[in-house]
C-alpha cells in the first residue's frame, strides 16, 4: 500500500470525502432537521448526514459512561458469537438514532436509494458521527468500511473514554463552543480559560487509564494488582473500530485499522512535550474539533500518507532510529504525532498480538485434517454399532467392548483439540473473523453432532449428574455451546434452535425424573417436536429410534394415550 | 505499564489525602466516594512500635486471621509459622478493642461495594493488618466485597511465611505498597536495629513532629512557606548529628544489600515484603510484585541516595503522589538515538528510566537485570494457562485408561475392586501401565500447583470450573491407587506411619480446598439412586487400612485403656462407613465381595462372635456406650 493516493488506498473517492465533510458540517446548522440527504450530481451516490446534540444529556445518559447493551433485533450481528457477549453503545446516541428511524421518513428514503442502486454514504461530524455509524451498522450490518477522520489533538474522539462525573462541570461550555447555533460558538476565550486545561487534563487522565490498562493486556501482563484495582474504578467500555485516519496537523495523514493500535494512538498522540504546553494543547484540543474541513483539504492536496497496519510489530522505537523505506515514512509520521518510545512499544504490542492471532489461526487450520480423520474413525464406530442394532450412544454408555474404550480415547483426543480452539476464543486470541469461517462452522457442526452424544453418554455413565447436576445446566462443555452458536449465527436462526446434538441429555434427565407425566408433559411435547424436525432434516441419526436405545425404551414407557397422538409414532417400531 | 495504569486512577491521590486527615486525628478516618469507602490509619500512633524494644516477630493468632492460619495448619509441620511484628499487631488489637473500628467496618460492608485501607508510615502496617483481617472474614462468609490496601512508606510487617501464605491465598493483588525511592522506613526492618536505638529514637521523634505539626500541608492547605517549614524541621534535626545519620544510613544500606544478595529472608524470625510494590521517583513509577525483586530494588534505589534523602523521603509522599499522578500528561520515555535489540529490551530501559537510575550509575547494571526478570515473569501466566489446558487434554486419555481399569476390575471374577487389585498387583503389563499413568498424572497436577503458587498462572484460574472439576475427578479416581501403593506389601506405613497423617500428598489437600471453596449451586444434595461412580471420600481406603490395624491390635492388646480406645475407633469407623454406604456415596468397588472393606467387615463380625463365645471383659462397648 506504499504510495498511491489516500482515496485509492482506503477505497473512497476523494471528492466524496470532501463532500461528506461539507455535508456533515452543514447538518449542524440546518434548522431542526434530524438528518439531511443529498444525491451527488453526476454520480450514483447519496449522502445522508446527521447533526449532533449539544447538551450534556445528549452525550451521556444515566451511567458513568452512558452506555447500554445493543438491541439484537435491530443489530443482530453485534455480539461476540461464541462468548455470546452483546456489544455496548452510547445510550443517548442510540436513542437519537432510534427516534430518527421510527419518527422520520429516513428508513423509506434509504430503502428507495437502495432500490435505485445508489451507493449510500452516512456521514456526521462530532456527535453526528455516532448517528452515522449506527445508521451504517443498521443498514449494512458489519460488512462495511467505516472511515473516521481524527485530528491530532481533537478531544471529542477521546471524550467517551472519560466518565461524565470527571468532566461534568466543564462539558456543557465545551458543547456550546462546538454548537454552531450557540452564541459561544468558536469563542476564543473558552479555549484559553483555565477550565479548558482542567477539561483536557481530566479527559486525558481517564484516557490514560483505559489505554494503559489495555496496553497491560496487550503486553500479556497479569499483575495481580491490575485485577483488583480494575474493580475499584470505572473504565470506559468504549473502543474504536473501522479505519482511522489521523491528521498530524502538518498535512500528513496516518491510516490505522487495528483497533488496539488506534486506542493507543488516541492517547499517545495528545501527550504534552512539557508541562508548560498545557494551555496551548488544551486550546488546540477544542479548536481542532472545528477545523476538519481545512485540515482535510490540505491533507488531500499533499497526499503524504503513512499506513501503519502492515508494520505495527516493527514500529521504530526511537524517533531518530535509522530506518529505511516505508518504515522511514512511518517513523516521520509517528514523530509528527509526537509518539514516545512508550507509545511505540504499545503499537508494537498491538501488532504483535494481531500477528499472534494469525499464527494461532494458522496452527489451528493445520489441525483441521487431523480432526477430520479422528471424526471419521468415530463415524465408523457409529456405523458399526448401528449394524449391531445398539446405537453408538448406548454402546458407549455401556462400555462393554474394547472398541468402546478405543472410541473413548479418540473422543478425548478430539475434544482436546477443540478445547484448545475454544480456550483461544475465550481469550480473544484468534482473529475476529474466525467464528464466521464457513469451513470451521461446518466442521464444528459435524463435530458437535457426532461427539456430543458421546460426552453425554460418558456423563451419565459416570453419574456425574449426581455429583455436579444436570448436564445441560451444569456441565455442557463450551466446545459445544460455541459451535452451536456459530451455526445458529451463520444460518440466522434462533438461539437454541440447533440443539440437536444434546437432546440425549434432556432424555436422560426426563428418564431420571420422578415427577408425574402431567408435570413433564410440556417438556416432552417440546422435545418430541424438536426430534421430529431434526429427524426430518437428518440432523440426528436413525440410531435414536433403534429398539434398544435409551430413548426408545424411555419413550415406550410413556402413557399410551400420549404415544398415540405423538408425532414420533411413525419412527418407532411397535 | 502497570504503574502507568495505577497512577492514572484516582485511587492514589484520594488515599493520600485521607491519610493526611487520619494523621491529624491520630487514629483513623473514613470517607466515601461513590461505591468505594476509604479507611485511613494515622501515621502517628500512641505507642512507638518502630522502637527496637517492641520489634519482635510473633506468630499470628487464628481468632482474627483464620484465613492465614488455616493454611499454616494444612502445611507440613516443618513449615515455618506465619509471624508479624508484635508491636504492630498489638496496635491493631487495641484499635479493634478500644475504638468503634469494627462497628464502622460492618456499616461500610453494608453500604459499599469496595473498601480501600490506607495509611502512611506505621499507619500502613495497620492498613495491611486490617486488610488481612477483612480478607479472612470475607472468605469465611464468601462476600463479593473488593478490598484494596494502599500504604505509603510502610515499614515491613511480617516474615516470608506470610508472603507465601498470601501467594497461596492469591491475595497479593490486594496490596499496593507505595515506596518513595530513598525512603528508609520500608527498608528499616531488614536490619537488626537494637545497636542504633538512640539514633532511631531521634529520627522517630523528628518524623512524628513533622507529620503532626500544623505547618505540614493538611488537605492541600499550606499555611507556611517552604522556607518556614524547612527552618522548623531543622530545629528538630539538630538533635541528631550528621555523622550519626550517616551511620544509620550505611548500616541499613548494608543490611538491605545483604538481604538482596541472599535473595531470601534469613528464616522465620526475619522480615520480608509481600504484595505489590510501586517505587516512586521524580521520573515515574515501577511496579514489582516478586519479593526478591522488591528487596533488590529497595537496595539499588537506596544506594543512589544519601543519609538525608533517606530520611526526608519519608515525608515527601505528597510530592511523589502529585508527580506520579500527573505523569500521564507528559510524553515520557524518549530515548534519543538508542537502537533497541527488541521491544522487551526497550521496555526494560523505560522501566529503568522510571526508577530514575541513570545508565552511568554503578547500580544500573544490576537494576537492569532485576527489571528484566520482573518483566519477563509478568508475562508468562496467560500463556501458561493456555498451555496447561492443552496439556490437560493430552493427559486425560491416561485418566480414561484408569477408569477403564477400574471398570474391568469391577467386572472381574476376583471381585476385589480396583483398590485391592492394584494393591496386590503383580508384574503384568496392564498393572505397570496403570501405575505409569498414575505417576504421570501426579506429575502434571504437581506441576500445575507449583505454577499456581509461584504466581505463574492467571488470577482467576481457580474460578474456572473446568480445573476445579478436573482436579476433583482426578482425586476421586486416583487417590485410592496412591493409597494402595502406600500400603502395598505393608511397606511405607510401617516406617512413616499411616497414610492420612504421614503419606497424603499435598496436592490432594489443595484439591479438597478447591472443591470446598467452589461456587455451589442450589440443586446440591440431591439424593443418589445408585452407587456413585467414584467413592466421594477419596481417603476411604486409607481409613479402611487404619481400621484393619485396629482389629489386629485388638487381638493382641491387653492394656484395657488402649483396648477401649481401639474399640471406640472401630465403632466410629463402622458407623461412618455404614452411613456413606447407605447414602450411596461409595462406588460399587467398595462393596465387592473380596474388597478390603468387605473383608474387614467379615473380620469384625468374626471378632465380635469370638468375643461373645468367650465373654468379653468389657461388654459395654457393644452397646455403644463409650467410656472416655
> What are the backbone angles phi and psi of residue B414, rounded to the nearest 5°?
-60, -30
What is the rounded distance in angstroms from the CA atom of residue B165 to the CA atom of residue A394? 48
Residues 6+ apart with CB under 8 A from B344: B375, B376
Burial class (CB in 10 A: 0-12, 13-18, 19+), B207: buried
Express each pLDDT in B302-357 by its tens digit.
999 999 999 999 999 999 999 998 888 888 766 655 667 778 888 888 888 888 88
Catalytic residue among A24, A49, A61, A126: A126
Q: CA dist A336 to A147, B19, B147, Å? A: 21, 42, 43
Express each pLDDT in B455-508 by its tens digit.
677 766 776 677 888 899 999 999 999 999 888 865 667 777 888 888 888 899
Are B344 and B180 spatial neighbours (Cβ–Cβ below 8 Å)?
Answer: no
Which pLDDT does position B73 carry in this prediction? 43
Express each pLDDT in A14-48 by its tens digit.
888 888 898 898 888 886 788 998 888 777 888 99
* Adjacency order of strands within the sheet including A119-124: A36-39, A45-50, A119-124
What is the rounded distance in angstroms from the CA atom of residue A440 to the CA atom of residue A442? 5
pLDDT, chain A, mean: 87
Q: Flag whether residue B389 sits within 8 Å of chain A, measured between CB atoms.
A: yes
- Partner-chain contact A416 B340, CB within 8 Å: no
Nearest chain A residue (CA) to B324: A205
What is the rounded distance in angstroms from the CA atom of residue A232 to the CA atom of residue A225? 11
Which pLDDT does position B377 carry in this prediction? 65
Lowest-confidence segment of A310-314, A497-501, B165-169 by average pLDDT:
B165-169
Instruction: Say whether pLDDT at B624 is over 70.
Output: no
- Partner-chain contact A212 B5, CB within 8 Å: yes
Express each pLDDT in A80-98 by its tens digit.
776 777 788 888 888 888 8
- Partner-chain contact A213 B346, CB within 8 Å: no
**Contact map slice: B 55-94 vs A, CB within 8 A:** none
Longest CA–CA span in chain B (Å) reads 101
Residues 6+ apart with CB under 8 A from A243: A10, A145, A146, A147, A148, A255, A256, A257
> In the structure grid, which three cell numbers stand for residue A507, read together?
432424555
Place of cell 500477528: A355
Beta bridge partners of A49: A36, A123
| Chain B residues lying within 8 Å of A317, measured CB to CB | 335, 340, 343, 346
Higher pLDDT, B625 or B219: B625
Place of cell 474493580: A231
Express each pLDDT in A227-251 by its tens digit.
889 888 888 888 888 889 999 988 8
Beta bridge partners of A47: A38, A121
Burial class (CB in 10 A: 0-12, 13-18, 19+), B13: middle
pLDDT class for A268, splitting at 50, 70, 90? very high
- Partner-chain contact A225 B173, CB within 8 Å: yes
CATH no., domain B1-70+80-215+228-325: 3.40.50
What is the rounded distance in angstroms from the CA atom of residue A270 to the CA atom of residue A248? 11
Read off the pLDDT of each residue in B573-580 and give the average, rounded to a whole number. 93
- ipTM value greater than 0.90: no
Read off the pLDDT of each residue in A139-165 and give the average, rounded to a whole number. 81
What is the rounded distance in angstroms from the CA atom of residue A558 to the CA atom of residue A93? 55
| Domain A1-145 of CATH type 3.40.50.410 | no
| Chain B residues lying within 8 Å of A231, measured CB to CB | 114, 146
| Chain A residues lying within 8 Å of B460, measured CB to CB | 227
This prediction has a pTM of 0.79
What is the rounded distance in angstroms from the CA atom of residue B92 to the CA atom of residue B159? 17
Domain positions in chain B are 1-70+80-215+228-325, 381-518+529-613
What is the rounded distance in angstroms from the CA atom of residue A226 to the CA atom of residue A51? 40
Express each pLDDT in B368-427 by its tens digit.
888 888 776 655 666 677 678 778 877 888 888 898 899 888 888 888 899 999 988 887
Which pLDDT does position A450 carry in this prediction? 93
What is the rounded distance in angstroms from the CA atom of residue B272 to the CA atom of residue B84? 10
Q: Flag whether residue B328 sits within 8 Å of chain A, measured between CB atoms.
A: yes
Question: What are the start-end ranges of the H helices in A219-340?
Answer: 224-230, 259-268, 278-287, 292-302, 325-336
CA B326 to chain A, closest CA, distance in angstroms equals: 8
**Contact map slice: B 477-516 vs A, CB within 8 A:** none
Distance between alpha carbon A80 and the CA centroid of its chain, in Å?
Answer: 5
Question: Among this protein's residues, is A289 annotated catalytic?
Answer: yes
**Contact map slice: A 220-259 vs B, CB within 8 A:** 220-229, 231-233
> In the structure grid, which three cell numbers stand for residue A534, read together?
431434526
Q: Mind telling me the catalytic residues of B? A: 121, 183, 314
DSSP H/E element including A114:
helix A106-115
| Chain A residues lying within 8 Å of B340, measured CB to CB | 317-318
Q: Flag whether residue A321 sits within 8 Å of chain B, measured between CB atoms.
A: yes
Q: Flag whether residue A279 sits within 8 Å of chain B, measured between CB atoms.
A: no
Pairing relationship of beta strands B158-159 and A147-151 according to DSSP bridges: unpaired
Of residues B36, B378, B533, nearest to A221 (C-beta): B378
- Partner-chain contact A225 B36, CB within 8 Å: no
The three-class DSSP label of residue A272 is strand
Q: Flag whether residue B397 sits within 8 Å of chain A, measured between CB atoms.
A: yes
**Contact map slice: A 13-72 vs B, CB within 8 A:** none
| Chain A residues lying within 8 Å of B389, measured CB to CB | 419-420, 423
Instruction: Say whether pLDDT at B615 is over 50.
Output: yes
Instruction: Say whether pLDDT at A198 is over 80.
Output: yes
- Partner-chain contact B340 A318, CB within 8 Å: yes
- Partner-chain contact B289 A227, CB within 8 Å: no
What is the rounded distance in angstroms from the CA atom of residue B514 to the CA atom of residue B268? 27
Which pLDDT does position A492 carry in this prediction? 78
* Adjacency order of strands within the sheet including A243-247: A147-151, A243-247, A252-256, A304-307
Instruction: Say whether pLDDT at B215 is over 70.
Output: no
Are A524 and A541 spatial neighbours (Cβ–Cβ below 8 Å)?
Answer: no
The three-class DSSP label of residue B66 is helix
Domain positions in chain A are 1-145, 149-339, 358-565
Read off the pLDDT of each residue in B82-101 and give the average, rounded to a whole number. 88
Between chain A and chain B, the number of residue pairs with CB atoms below 8 A apart is 210
Of residues A231, A345, A474, nearest to B521 (C-beta): A474
Nearest chain A residue (CA) to B389: A420
- Partner-chain contact B386 A429, CB within 8 Å: yes
Amino acid at each position: 500500500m506504499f504510495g498511491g493516493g489516500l482515496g485509492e488506498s482506503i477505497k473512497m473517492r476523494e471528492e466524496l470525502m470532501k463532500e461528506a465533510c461539507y455535508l456533515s458540517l452543514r447538518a449542524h446548522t440546518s434548522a431542526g432537521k434530524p438528518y439531511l440527504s443529498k444525491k451527488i450530481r453526476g454520480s450514483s451516490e447519496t449522502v445522508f448526514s446527521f447533526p449532533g446534540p449539544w447538551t450534556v444529556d445528549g452525550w451521556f445518559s444515566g451511567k458513568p459512561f452512558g452506555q447500554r447493551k445493543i438491541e439484537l433485533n435491530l443489530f443482530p450481528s453485534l455480539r461476540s458469537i461464541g462468548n455470546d457477549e452483546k456489544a455496548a453503545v452510547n445510550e443517548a446516541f442510540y436513542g437519537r438514532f432510534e427516534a430518527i428511524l421510527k419518527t422520520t421518513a429516513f428508513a423509506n428514503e434509504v430503502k428507495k436509494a437502495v432500490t435505485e442502486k445508489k451507493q449510500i454514504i452516512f456521514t456526521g461530524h462530532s456527535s453526528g458521527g455516532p448517528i452515522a455509524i449506527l445508521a451504517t451498522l443498521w443498514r449494512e450490518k458489519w460488512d462495511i468500511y467505516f472511515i473516521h477522520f481524527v485530528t491530532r489533538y481533537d478531544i471529542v474522539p477521546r471524550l467517551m473514554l472519560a466518565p461524565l462525573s470527571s468532566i461534568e462541570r466543564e462539558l456543557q461550555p465545551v458543547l456550546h463552543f462546538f454548537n454552531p447555533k450557540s452564541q459561544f460558538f468558536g469563542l476564543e476565550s473558552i479555549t484559553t480559560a483555565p477550565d479548558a486545561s482542567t477539561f483536557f487534563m481530566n479527559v486525558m487522565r481517564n484516557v490514560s487509564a483505559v489505554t494503559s490498562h489495555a496496553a497491560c493486556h496487550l503486553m500479556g501482563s497479569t499483575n495481580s494488582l491490575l485485577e483488583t484495582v480494575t474493580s475499584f474504578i470505572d473504565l470506559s467500555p468504549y473502543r474504536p473500530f473501522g479505519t482511522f485516519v489521523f491528521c498530524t496537523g502538518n498535512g500528513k495523514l496516518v491510516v490505522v485499522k487495528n483497533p488496539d493500535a488506534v486506542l493507543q494512538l488516541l492517547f499517545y498522540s495528545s501527550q504534552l512535550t512539557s508541562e508548560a504546553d498545557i494551555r496551548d494543547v488544551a486550546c488546540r484540543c477544542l479548536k481542532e474539533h472545528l477545523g476538519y474541513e481545512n485540515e482535510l483539504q490540505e491533507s488531500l492536496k499533499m497526499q503524504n500518507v503513512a499506513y501503519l497496519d502492515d508494520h505495527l510489530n516493527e514500529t521504530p522505537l526511537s524517533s531518530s532510529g535509522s530506518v529505511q523505506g516505508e518504515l522511514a515514512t512511518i517513523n516521520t509520521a509517528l514523530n509528527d504525532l509526537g509518539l514516545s518510545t512508550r507509545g511505540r512499544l504499545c503499537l508494537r504490542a498491538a501488532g504483535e498480538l494481531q500477528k499472534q492471532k494469525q499464527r494461532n489461526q494458522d496452527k489451528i487450520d493445520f489441525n483441521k485434517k487431523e480432526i477430520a480423520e479422528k471424526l471419521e474413525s468415530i463415524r465408523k464406530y457409529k456405523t458399526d454399532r448401528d449394524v449391531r442394532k445398539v446405537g453408538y450412544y448406548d454402546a458407549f454408555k455401556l462400555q462393554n467392548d474394547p472398541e468402546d474404550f478405543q472410541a473413548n480415547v479418540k473422543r478425548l483426543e478430539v475434544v482436546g483439540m477443540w478445547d484448545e480452539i475454544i480456550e483461544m476464543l475465550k481469550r480473544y486470541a484468534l482473529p475476529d473473523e474466525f467464528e464466521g469461517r464457513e469451513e470451521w462452522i461446518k466442521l464444528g457442526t459435524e463435530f458437535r453432532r457426532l461427539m456430543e452424544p458421546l460426552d453425554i453418554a460418558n456423563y451419565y455413565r459416570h453419574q456425574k449428574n449426581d455429583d455436579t447436576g444436570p448436564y445441560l445446566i451444569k456441565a455442557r462443555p463450551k466446545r459445544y455451546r460455541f459451535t452451536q452458536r456459530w451455526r445458529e449465527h451463520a444460518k440466522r436462526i434462533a438461539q437454541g434452535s440447533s440443539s440437536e446434538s444434546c437432546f440425549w441429555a434432556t432424555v436422560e434427565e426426563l428418564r431420571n425424573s420422578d415427577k408425574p407425566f402431567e408435570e413433564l408433559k410440556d417438556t416432552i411435547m417440546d422435545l418430541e417436536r424438536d426430534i421430529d424436525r431434526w429427524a426430518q432434516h437428518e440432523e440426528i441419526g436413525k440410531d435414536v429410534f433403534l429398539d434398544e436405545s435409551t430413548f426408545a425404551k424411555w419413550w415406550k414407557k410413556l402413557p399410551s394415550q400420549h404415544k398415540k397422538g405423538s408425532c414420533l409414532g411413525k419412527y418407532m417400531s411397535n | 505499564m502497570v504503574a502507568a495504569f495505577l497512577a492514572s486512577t484516582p485511587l492514589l491521590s484520594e488515599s493520600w489525602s485521607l491519610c493526611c486527615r487520619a494523621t491529624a486525628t491520630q487514629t483513623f478516618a473514613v470517607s466515601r466516594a461513590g461505591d468505594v469507602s476509604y479507611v485511613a490509619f494515622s501515621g502517628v500512633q500512641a505507642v512507638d512500635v518502630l522502637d527496637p524494644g517492641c520489634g519482635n516477630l510473633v506468630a499470628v493468632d487464628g481468632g482474627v486471621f483464620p484465613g492465614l492460619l488455616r493454611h499454616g495448619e494444612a502445611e507440613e509441620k516443618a513449615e515455618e509459622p506465619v509471624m508479624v511484628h508484635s508491636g504492630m499487631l498489638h496496635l491493631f488489637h487495641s484499635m479493634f478493642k478500644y475504638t468503634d473500628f469494627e462497628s464502622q467496618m460492618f456499616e461500610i460492608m453494608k453500604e459499599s461495594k469496595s473498601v480501600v485501607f490506607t495509611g502512611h508510615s506505621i499507619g500502613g502496617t495497620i492498613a495491611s493488618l486490617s486488610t488481612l483481617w477483612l480478607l479472612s472474614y470475607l472468605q469465611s462468609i464468601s462476600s463479593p466485597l473488593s478490598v484494596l490496601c494502599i500504604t505509603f512508606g510502610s515499614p515491613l510487617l511480617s516474615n516470608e511465611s506470610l508472603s507465601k501464605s498470601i501467594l497461596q491465598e492469591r491475595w497479593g493483588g490486594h496490596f499496593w505498597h507505595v515506596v518513595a525511592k530513598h525512603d528508609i522506613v520500608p527498608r528499616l526492618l531488614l536490619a537488626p536495629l537494637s545497636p542504633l536505638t538512640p539514633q532511631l529514637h531521634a529520627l522517630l521523634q523528628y518524623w512524628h513532629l513533622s507529620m503532626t505539626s500544623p505547618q505540614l500541608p493538611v488537605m492541600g492547605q499550606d499555611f507556611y512557606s517552604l522556607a518556614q517549614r524547612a527552618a522548623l524541621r531543622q530545629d528538630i534535626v539538630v538533635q541528631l548529628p550528621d555523622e550519626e545519620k550517616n551511620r544509620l544510613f550505611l548500616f541499613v544500606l548494608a543490611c538491605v544489600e545483604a538481604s538482596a544478595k541472599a535473595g531470601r529472608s534469613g528464616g522465620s524470625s526475619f522480615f520480608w515484603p509481600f504484595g505489590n510494590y510501586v517505587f516512586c521517583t521524580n521520573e515515574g513509577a515501577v511496579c514489582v510484585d516478586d519479593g526478591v525483586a522488591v528487596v533488590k530494588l529497595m537496595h539499588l534505589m537506596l544506594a543512589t541516595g544519601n543519609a538525608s534523602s533517606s530520611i526526608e523521603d519519608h515525608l515527601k509522599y505528597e510530592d511523589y503522589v502529585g508527580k506520579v499522578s500527573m505523569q500521564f500528561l507528559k510524553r515520557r520515555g524518549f530515548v534519543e538515538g538508542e537502537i533497541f535489540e527488541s521491544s522487551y529490551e526497550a521496555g526494560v530501559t523505560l522501566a529503568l528510566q522510571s526508577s530514575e537510575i541513570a545508565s552511568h550509575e554503578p547500580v544500573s547494571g544490576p537494576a537492569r537485570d532485576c527489571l528484566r526478570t520482573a518483566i519477563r515473569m509478568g508475562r508468562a501466566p496467560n500463556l501458561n494457562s493456555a498451555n496447561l489446558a492443552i496439556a490437560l487434554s493430552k493427559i486425560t486419555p491416561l485418566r480414561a485408561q484408569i477408569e477403564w481399569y477400574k471398570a474391568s476390575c469391577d467386572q472381574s471374577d476376583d471381585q476385589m475392586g480396583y483398590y485391592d487389585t492394584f494393591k496386590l498387583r503383580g508384574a503384568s503389563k496392564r498393572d505397570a501401565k496403570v501405575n505409569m499413568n498414575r505417576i504421570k498424572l501426579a506429575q502434571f497436577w504437581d506441576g500445575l500447583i507449583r505454577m499456581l503458587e509461584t504466581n505463574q498462572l492467571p488470577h482467576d484460574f481457580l474460578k474456572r470450573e473446568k480445573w476445579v472439576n478436573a482436579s476433583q475427578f482426578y482425586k476421586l479416581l486416583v487417590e485410592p491407587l496412591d493409597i494402595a501403593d502406600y500400603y502395598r506389601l505393608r511397606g511405607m506405613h510401617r516406617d512413616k506411619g499411616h497414610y492420612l497423617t504421614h503419606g497424603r500428598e499435598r496436592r490432594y489437600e489443595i484439591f479438597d480446598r478447591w472443591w470446598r471453596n467452589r461456587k455451589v449451586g442450589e440443586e446440591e444434595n440431591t439424593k443418589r439412586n445408585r452407587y456413585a461412580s467414584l467413592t466421594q471420600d477419596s481417603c476411604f481406603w486409607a481409613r479402611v487400612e487404619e481400621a484393619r490395624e485396629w482389629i489386629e491390635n485388638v487381638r493382641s492388646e491387653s492394656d484395657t485403656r488402649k483396648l477401649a480406645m481401639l474399640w471406640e475407633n472401630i465403632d466410629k469407623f463402622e458407623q461412618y462407613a455404614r452411613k456413606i454406604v447407605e447414602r450411596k456415596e461409595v462406588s460399587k468397588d467398595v462393596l465387592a465381595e473380596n474388597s478390603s472393606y468387605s473383608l474387614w467387615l467379615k473380620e469384625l463380625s468374626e471378632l465380635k462372635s469370638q468375643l461373645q463365645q468367650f465373654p468379653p471383659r468389657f461388654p459395654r462397648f457393644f452397646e455403644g456406650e463409650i467410656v472416655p
